[in-house]
Amino acid sequence: MLLSKRAEMFLPGLWPAYFSRAKGCRVWDLDGRSYLDMSFAVGTSTLGYAHPAVDRAVQETVKKGTMCSLNCPEEVALAEKLTVLHPWAQMVRLARSGGEANAIAVRIARAASGRDKVAICGYHGWHDWYLAANLNSRKNLDGHLLPGLDPEGVPRELGGTVLPFRYNDFDELEALVRDHDIGVIKMEVSRNFGPQNNFLARVRRLASRKRIVLIFDECTSGFRETYGGLHLKYGVDPDMAMFGKALGNGYAITAVIGKREVMETAQKTFISSTFWTERIGPTAALKTLEVMKKKASWEVLTATGKKIISGWKELASRHQVSLEVSGIPAIPSFSFHGENALAYKTLVTQEMLKMGYLASSTVFVSVAHTAEIVEGYFHALNKVFQLIRECEQGRNVKRLLEGPVCHGGFKRLN
Ligand code: PMP
């Protein structure tokens, strides 16, 4: 179902894979074992699993009825909140998954610009419009989380409609715009590294000059470093933006927000779906927004993430292990270098699991990651880095592994 939850991505044959319960930072598997989760549900639950206030709001809504012939007022309240937080936007469409929100945004943007071609930078879901990037070369999405993907089932006629550019490579984007009739630029504000040389502002200026609709995909970056989109930090406004993941703290809700003149085009095309009108998603989002604001959760996530980053760097230097650290502070990642990189990553997951942690090489930080939990995590991780150091000095890492090495990314399951 979800690539990021595939057991083979963590610990083939040994990963617990299914859960019976989740609360705060703790997850229970089907055999009743419990773990502290340092991986954290691909980033949906920044307030912690089963947050009491959010769950209570949802339970109240369930009692009152979640669906009928009329619309729920919560969707209007949520739209108002999102446009107040992002004053450049006046209109909102709600959906339930990030991929859907991306497909909605691309449809509206293509209709608004009157041009088909989209320049992309980042991961934007599983739909045909996006995977079309790999029809001309299966390497096109290599730098965007989907290395080597074969776009089987995506109509070949879409080839050449979606063109990737590298983050911070303004010249590459400018050349795409010069050589193709680009109508839409869609990008993540920042994933692995921050903008350099005024990158975001230059993209904005280019888009405005060429009447290109600029879309920031904030499905993952939203509400982690600012109270809203990460673009608020950089002071660069897009024409449209999408939010997901953190917005509902684990309940399904995503949003597309945009400038009136762009969003109004939605009325000329057909974008509509039954369950975009159910009531649980916007109820959860409204309560999540309230709790996030009260806790200033984005500040907590960023501070904890910075501690995790410096903890990893400290371990790497203590044990003389070569390590690359990337990501915004609220979603830090590390990767090892060299031929044993994936084996070391697998070893981390295997040994941390034995010590009671669901932990790989990325942490989607949550406010449930208290200082005490982070301290315990580093105490455990220190022992694994000690092992890795021994491997660097000649010990065979494969002999330490109790199963196969984890997968490095998307792979066809033949
Ligand atoms: N856009 C971005 C930036 C994402 O990180 C993701 C999910 N990883 C998506 C879109 C797709 O969201 P979903 O998995 O909810 O369809």
Determine the pLDDT at residue 354: 98
Is there a domain that residue 61 lies in?
Answer: no
- Co-location of 108 and 200 in the same domain: yes
- Which residues' Cβ are closer than 6 Å to ligand 1? 97-99, 102, 122-125, 188, 217, 219-220, 244
Is there a domain that residue 406 lies in?
Answer: no
Determine the pLDDT at residue 89: 98
Mean pLDDT, to the nearest integer, of 79-90? 98
Give residue 351 CA to ligand 1 midpoint distance, Å.
Answer: 29
Is there a domain that residue 405 lies in?
Answer: no
**pLDDT tens figures, 303-360:** 999 999 999 999 999 999 999 999 999 999 999 999 999 999 999 999 999 999 999 9
Query: DSSP 3-state helix, strand, coil percentages of the chain (rounded to 5)?
Result: 45, 15, 40
**pLDDT tens figures, 283-309:** 999 999 999 999 999 999 999 999 999
Boundary of a domain, candidates 278, 305, 323: 278
Give residue 304 CA to ligand 1 midpoint distance, Å.
Answer: 23
Boundary of a domain, candidates 212, 245, 278: 278
- Co-location of 155 and 216 in the same domain: yes
- Co-location of 322 and 216 in the same domain: no
Whole-angstrom Cα Rg for the chain: 22
Number of domains forming the structure of the chain: 2
Determine the pLDDT at residue 411: 54
- Co-location of 186 and 236 in the same domain: yes
- Report which ligand 1 atom has the smallest distance to the Cα of 245: 15
Say if CB 104 and CB 271 are below 8 A apart. Answer: yes
CA nearest neighbour of 391 among 349, 355, 343: 343
Containing domain of residue 41, as a range?
A: 3-50+296-400
Q: Is the pLDDT of residue 41 over 80?
A: no
- Co-location of 76 and 180 in the same domain: yes
- Co-location of 79 and 41 in the same domain: no
Lowest mean pLDDT of 15-29, 255-269, 397-411, name the range.
397-411
Here the CATH number for the domain that contains residue 109 is: 3.40.640.10
Kind plus residue range of the DSSP H or E element containing 208: helix 199-209
Kind plus residue range of the DSSP H or E element containing 228: none
Give residue 380 CA to ligand 1 midpoint distance, Å.
Answer: 31
Give residue 301 CA to ligand 1 midpoint distance, Å.
Answer: 19
- Co-location of 365 and 242 in the same domain: no
CA nearest neighbour of 19 among 1, 35, 43: 35
Is there a domain that residue 199 lies in?
Answer: yes
Determine the pLDDT at residue 169: 98
Q: Is 385 exposed, middle or buried (0-12, 13-18, 19+ CB in 10 A)?
A: buried
Mean pLDDT, to the nearest integer, of 384-409? 96
Burial per residue of 273-282, b for 16 or more beta-carbon CB atoms within 10 angstroms, e otherwise: eeebbbbbbb
Is there a domain that residue 56 lies in?
Answer: no
**pLDDT tens figures, 130-183:** 999 999 888 888 887 777 788 999 999 999 999 999 999 999 999 999 999 999
Determine the pLDDT at residue 147: 78
Boundary of a domain, candidates 251, 278, 305: 278
- Co-location of 105 and 184 in the same domain: yes
From the centroid of its chain, how far is CA 267? Answer: 29
Q: Is 38 exposed, middle or buried (0-12, 13-18, 19+ CB in 10 A)?
A: buried
Give residue 97 CA to ligand 1 midpoint distance, Å.
Answer: 8
Confidence of residue 17 (pLDDT cuts 50, 70, 90): very high
- Co-location of 118 and 228 in the same domain: yes
Q: Is the pLDDT of residue 413 over 50?
A: no
Is there a domain that residue 60 lies in?
Answer: no
- Co-location of 109 and 249 in the same domain: yes
Residue 364 or residue 414, greater confidence:
364
- Co-location of 14 and 46 in the same domain: yes
Is there a domain that residue 412 lies in?
Answer: no
Is there a domain that residue 246 lies in?
Answer: yes
Determine the pLDDT at residue 409: 77
If one residue of 220, 254, 333, 410 were mutated to test the ligand 1 pocket, choosing by the most ligand atoms within 8 A of its CB, it would be: 220
**pLDDT tens figures, 207-216:** 999 999 999 9
Determine the pLDDT at residue 317: 98
For residue 323, give the amino acid letter.
L
- Co-location of 216 and 85 in the same domain: yes
